[in-house]
Amino acid sequence: MNAHEIDYEISGEEMQFVEIELDPNEAVIAEPGSFMFMDDVIVMETIFGDGAKQSSSFFDKLLNAGKRVLTGERLFMTAFTHQGVGKAHVAFASPYPGRIVPMDLSEMGGRIICQKDAFLCAAKGVSVGIEFQKRLGTGFFGGEGFIMQKLEGDGMAFVHAGGTIVKRDLKIGERLKIDTGCIVAFTKDVEYDIEFVGGIKNTIFGGEGMFYATLTGPGSVWMQSLPFSRLANKVIAAAPRVGGQRKGEGSILGGIGDLIDGDNSF
């Protein structure tokens, strides 16, 4: 294996955290801000790049860091390395209510595609990059745009999603229609596209947006019941008005913008 081998335990219900057990010289990488606690023999280091083994040139590191910026993530990642003896533990917490999903990339063809904010942490050696959507319609209307996250390697990776997580295994040619915001991740052989809902009443009054995603097998798909954007929209809609106007009111698109992205709060 190129990635470090790690053991783990996921604890909690609504607000979960993953506790990772490291042997000497083993390391795990994580998004800044997800750290919860660690043993004293573990040392934290800021990494410039995508979290893969740091043997590449400075230009490669700069390119990989730039890719992370395109996905909306920070320029740097953090690495936690066990520099003592025996076993040591480090833990990372979920950013909002939901579930942490462990994924063994060695059992998934070495690559998964996930939404831009799904990645939580992974074994050192897993590469966190970008995946461009090749279809023009998918890029403009697919909710995640042209760019999604790509996790590559042969180690353990952990992603987080909101609400309850559902996994579906699709057969060859089997097709699943999903709300664009409910997609968490899918394996590399799954074909991702978008489809127009159709019908004037469905489009204007359906409250589900103008488009939904279509995923075609073979492969596995993970879905979330509560996308963070949906939760945030509900909170904003219920928040007190500021200056007689809620956030989003008075914009150029107004309700039309909410219609396109699937918001049904208006």
Q: Where are the domains of the chain?
A: 7-229
Tokens of 239: 């928040």
**Across residues 248-264, what is the average pLDDT?**
47
pLDDT confidence of residue 179: 84
Tokens of 212: 């939904």
The confidence band for 172, taking pLDDT boundaries of 50, 70 and 90, is very high
The confidence band for 79, taking pLDDT boundaries of 50, 70 and 90, is very high
pLDDT confidence of residue 33: 85
When the candidates are 3.30.300.280, 3.60.160.10, 3.40.50.300, 3.40.50.920, the CATH number that belongs to 7-229 is 3.60.160.10
**Across residues 15-36, what is the average pLDDT?**
92
- Range of lowest pLDDT (58-72, 111-125, 241-255): 241-255
| pLDDT one-digit tens code per residue, 208-223 | 556 778 899 999 999 9
- 44 pLDDT exceeds 90? yes
**CB 94, CB 103: distance < 8 Å:** no
pLDDT confidence of residue 145: 45
Task: Using DSSP bridges, classify how beta strands 76-82 and 42-48 pair: parallel, antiparallel or unpaired.
Answer: antiparallel
**Across residues 186-215, what is the average pLDDT?**
69
As a three-state string, the secondary structure of the chain is CCCCCCEEEEECCCCCEEEEEECCCCEEEECCCCEEEECCCEEEEEEECCCCCCCCCHHHHHHHHHHHHHCCCCCEEEEEEECCCCCEEEEEECCCCEEEEEEEHHHCCCEEEECCCCEEEEECCCEEEEEECCCHHHHHHCCCCCEEEEEECCCEEEEEEECCEEEEEECCCCEEEECHHHEEEEECCCEEEEEECCCHHHHHHCCCCCEEEEEECCEEEEEECCCHHHHHHHHHHHCCCECCECCCCCCCCCHHHHHHHCCCCC
